[in-house]
Structure 1
């Protein structure tokens, strides 16, 4: 039982890393209708900015806040001067542009900060507590609590605020939103800025559990996209649950399913994606799109 609980706890901790990035992807999608593959690179750049500030003697919490503000501005500028040239064209072209941004930002991080592993301080203590024979780190608990808080805030933003409703309206039909008097350009910039700021929080949460490198988020981005597909692009609540499910099932399959083991556990989320796409293409908690003709 102790081993089972330990695997579940570790899976929830790992899933929280995926969830942090998945929530930023959902935010961009709800604001623009696009899947932003550059989100991982933007989170890494924000983590490096916070790390640089701490090296200059700035307290960690202030360094993270500065990186969040800088990320918001950077996200808004990327939307205004880069992505806006693609958003009204073929969606596939815009997606390819975000992949190009991912490569560019990762390369810039390597050029500015080198590809050496860097240690990033943790917001939470590294102590552990015992629970039914399982060791639970306070850092994992803190990360999970932060993810839950962000999930609730995003859910409230999209469902209970005028800004959230305006962002969704622009993502669904920017032309109609413009005719209704909504400032489409500013809303798109706000959506990208908020997603970049959320990515900065994700980077600050992930970097202490990994080592800070330009490719730190590459694997997490794949799992985050899997969580988005499983949970549904329209549901922050759903993507967080999906990320936790992926983390837990991966760990359990690696230990309790002999032919999978640790070598094939990466196949678990993709098997789940395949199953969900067949049975429920909009995701477990997503809404089915209805198009009137």
Structure 2
């Protein structure tokens, strides 16, 4: 029982890291209709900003909060200067641009802060508490709680606020939204800014578990994209649930199925994800698109 609890909690904590990036991907998709492949590099860049604030002597919580604010304006700047030039055209071209941004921002991070491994301080204590015979780290608990809080705020944003409704309208049809009087350009900037701020939170959560490097989130981005698609690209709740599913499934498979181990454990949630998407192509919590002809 203790081993099971340990594997589940560790899986939820790992899945929460994927979920933080997946939420940012969902946010950009709901605001612009695009999938942002540069989200990982943007999150790493924001984490380096937080690291720079920490080096000035600021408490880690204050440094992360300042990085979140700076990242909002950074994301808005990226949308205004780069992405907007390709909006209104082919989505395929815009997606390729985000891939280019992924490479560019990784290179800029390495140029500014070097490719050396850096230690990033943890926002939460490193102590553990006993739960059903297992030692559950407070950092894992803090990561899970943070992601749940962010998910709840995003859900409230999209369902209960005028800004969220406007973002959804712009994602559905920018031309109709503009004709309705919505400030489409400003809303797109806000969407990208919020996604960049979420990336800063995700980077700050994962950096203490790994060494801070420009490629820190490259692998996590693959899991985050999988979680966003599995949960439904229009559902913050779905992204988090799917990320938890991936984290827990791979942990349990690696812990209990001997021939899988650590090397093949990722194949288990990916295979299950394939089966689920065959039945529900729109994802677990996504909405089926209805087109009138």
Provide TM-score, normalisation by structure 2: 0.98
Residue of structure 2 equivalent to 1:163: 163
Residue of structure 2 equivalent to 1:208: 208
Residue of structure 2 equivalent to 1:75: 75
The 2-side partners of 1:69 and 1:8 are apart by 33
Residue of structure 2 equivalent to 1:114: 114
Residue of structure 1 equivalent to 2:57: 57
Residue of structure 1 equivalent to 2:21: 21
The 1-side partners of 2:134 and 2:116 are apart by 33
Report the more deviating stretch, 272-281 or 179-188: 272-281
Please tell me whether the aligned partners of residues 229 and 273 of structure 1 are also in contact (alpha carbons under 8 angstroms). Answer: no
- 1:274 is the counterpart of 2:274: yes
- 1:181 is the counterpart of 2:184: no
Deviation, structure 1 residue 262: 1.2
Segments of 5+ residues of structure 2 without an aligned counterpart are none
SS at match of 1:130: strand
Segments of 5+ residues of structure 1 without an aligned counterpart are none
The one-character-per-residue Cα deviations of 1:217-256 (angstroms, maximum 9, x if unpaired) are: 0111000011111111111111101111110110111122
- 1:86 is the counterpart of 2:67: no
The 2-side partners of 1:37 and 1:90 are apart by 16
The 2-side partners of 1:235 and 1:254 are apart by 28
Deviation, structure 1 residue 272: 2.4
Deviation, structure 1 residue 196: 0.5
- 1:10 is the counterpart of 2:7: no
The 1-side partners of 2:267 and 2:96 are apart by 25
The 2-side partners of 1:269 and 1:27 are apart by 24
Please tell me whether the aligned partners of residues 72 and 193 of structure 1 are also in contact (alpha carbons under 8 angstroms). Answer: yes
Please tell me whether the aligned partners of residues 223 and 269 of structure 1 are also in contact (alpha carbons under 8 angstroms). Answer: no
The 1-side partners of 2:259 and 2:108 are apart by 41
Residue of structure 2 equivalent to 1:172: 172
SS at match of 1:199: helix
Deviation, structure 1 residue 5: 1.0
The one-character-per-residue Cα deviations of 1:75-128 (angstroms, maximum 9, x if unpaired) are: 111111100111211111111110110110011111111111111011110000
Please tell me whether the aligned partners of residues 3 and 134 of structure 1 are also in contact (alpha carbons under 8 angstroms). Answer: yes
Deviation, structure 1 residue 132: 1.1
Detail structure 1 runs of 4+ shifted over 6 Å in the superposition: none
Residue of structure 2 equivalent to 1:227: 227
The one-character-per-residue Cα deviations of 1:182-232 (angstroms, maximum 9, x if unpaired) are: 000000000000110111111111111111111110111000011111111
Deviation, structure 1 residue 179: 0.5
RMSD: 0.9
The 2-side partners of 1:263 and 1:54 are apart by 35
The 1-side partners of 2:138 and 2:217 are apart by 22
The 1-side partners of 2:39 and 2:122 are apart by 21
The 1-side partners of 2:273 and 2:11 are apart by 18
Residue of structure 2 equivalent to 1:30: 30
Provide TM-score, normalisation by structure 1: 0.98
The 1-side partners of 2:60 and 2:138 are apart by 17
Residue of structure 1 equivalent to 2:138: 138
The 2-side partners of 1:85 and 1:139 are apart by 41
SS at match of 1:106: helix
